[in-house]
Chains A and B, each alone.
Chain A
Amino acid sequence: MNPEKWPADNMGFPPDKNTGLRLFLQTVIARAYPRIIGQQREKSWVFFDIFLPLLAVSAYVFVYRAIGAPEEYVGFVVMGGAMTAFWMNVLWSMSSQLYWEKEMGNLSLYIMAPNSMMAILLGMALGGLVATTLRALAITVLGSWLFEIPYAVASFGQLFLVFMLAMIALYGMGMLFASLFLLLSREAWHLSNLAQEPVYLFSGFYFPIKSFNFWVAATASIIPLTLGLDAMRQLVFPSGAALGFLSVPVEIGILAALCVIFLTAAKLLLEHMEKLAIREGRLTESRR
């Protein structure tokens, strides 16, 4: 250490600090940063996040071929397979993330800083979304090329809107889970595990949810990916509309409502859970 360097360079004076909206945005970007940069820094992700999932998706493609399914199902599977990346990301990097942050000692530093925890969660979501979009896009492009999937996009505008709404609602749900899981430890881990495969099933990652009866499909629509996937399939595949659950405009409306519901619920619950955690002393304890 060179204490003689202290207090040179005007360091003694407190810097001007941003507050309010600026602080909020700064926090979002700062927490998104490790998500985007950290992942790229470990090159192994290309192999494990793109190549291997692509093989897994291909397995389902060949099951359809083995049982003589119409070719459009191949397109459904590739799209569903690409979207599983988002579900994995929400489960493992959003919902149970605060558990990891607690174990690593970061959670107390986040809470103790003058920012809003909502901004931290949004940052995690934004970073995860950007990083995962890259993977999902790569899987879609490679899968479409390998299996020569024909696309007939009905409306790029609607497609973009559906994707954005589905993502906002999905990551809103991730934020809601993260706040719910704040008080939990290893249990959060188990709950994420519980949700993984059943959602693959009910959200129709590998087949159109129209195949379920109406009430099952309607219940499954609480998971934003369900209607997001259904609407996107309707918009990009020639025979998509015939296999759609509800009409695209209705699905857009429901997705918009889900965005509002999940984000509001996440905010309210986070405030409540933070208070509860501070009262019960569960922000910093590590129950390994």
Chain B
Amino acid sequence: MQKTSILNIQSLIPDRQTFTRSFRIAAWLGWQIESNWTDPFLFAVYSIAKPLAGAAILVVMYSIITNGAFESPIFPYIYLGNAFYMYVGGVMTGISWAVIDDREHYKTLKYMYVAPIHMPTYLLGRGVARFIVSSISVLITILFGVAFLHVKIDLAAVNWGLFFVSLLIGVLMLAMMGLMLAGITLLIAQHVWFIGDITAGALYLFSGAIFPLDVLPRFLRPVGFFMPITYWLELLRRSLVGSVAQAFPTLSGFSNAQLMGILLALTTVFAVLAAVIFFWCEHRARERGMIDMVTNY
């Protein structure tokens, strides 16, 4: 008997019709479920209270220790890094939580699997709602920083081209990481936390989001240099406030183009990794009959 291959290239890449159908319906569904932010209460929860409270923790920590020295370049470094980092949790959770929500709550994951859709595309689509909500959170957090916390962004000096291109590649990169987590989620029980948020929390340490990588012990730094998030955040900071990026030497040896090249290369590596991990996990989940399991305790 011929052994079936785990990785079937055809199943990896959907045709255009399947891609569009899967993505569109998933994005619509995600929007219906996740984030009806036209509801003022939900808007306040997800786009204002949560992100601002998260940012405020760092602001208070900073202000206690430095007696409110908000002019120092480390402050906008921390503040902007933290603001854009919301995308990390948001996008990764959006994509991976859909597995738990569909499997354990709506009990529709099995129907999604038997439908003629491309599962990874479907999950990516489910992440769109959280991406949009995260975008609003990021915007509100930055506006708050500019208005009340001396975060100075000179709109005329912003390198908009670099900003949008980096943002786009970064979101794709995060989506790939979300897909990896979605794969892993297929194999684990429902716990109390969101796997996307908790992974984002852990990667916080290695991405230079709220402190330069130089602060890490020497043996941990390579992890940070392998994370595409590190280069992505650096590019975003450079495009918005160039002076802040210059103040920290960790990545100052690289030009914008070099950083972009590294980001693109690592994004490609992560995309391949995501495909391998997702399909391997999916294969295991099918083998062990876990597609429609209900866990909880």
Contact = CB atoms under 8 A, between A and B. Distances in A.
Interface string B177-213: 0000000000011011101001101111110011110
B155 interface: no
Interface stretch (A55-63, A225-233, A261-269): A55-63
A42 B205 contact: no
B286 interface: no
B296 A55 contact: no
B201 A53 contact: yes
Q: How large is the interface on A (under 10, 10 to 19, 20 to 34, 35 or more residues)?
A: 35 or more
B168 interface: no
A83 B106 CA distance: 32
Contact of A65 (B50, B57, B215): B215
Given A44-B188, A63-B211, A201 B204 contact: no
Interface string B39-62: 001100110011101101110111
Contacts of A69: 61, 64-65
Interface residues of B, number: 46
Given A52-B199, A201-B57, A288-B105, A38 B297 contact: yes
Which secondary structure characterizes the binding site on chain A? helix
Given A104-B294, A197-B50, A48 B198 contact: yes
Q: Max chain A CB contacts within 10 Å: which of B57, B188, B192, B202?
A: B192
A103 B105 contact: yes
Which secondary structure characterizes the binding site on chain B? helix
Interface in A46-100: 48-49, 51-53, 55-56, 58-60, 62-70, 73, 88-89, 92-93, 100
A88 B49 contact: no
Contacts of A48: 188, 191, 193, 195, 198
A31 B62 CA distance: 43
B205 A63 contact: no
Contacts of A151: none
Given A38-B297, A193-B50, A197-B49, A63 B198 contact: no
Contacts of B58: 63
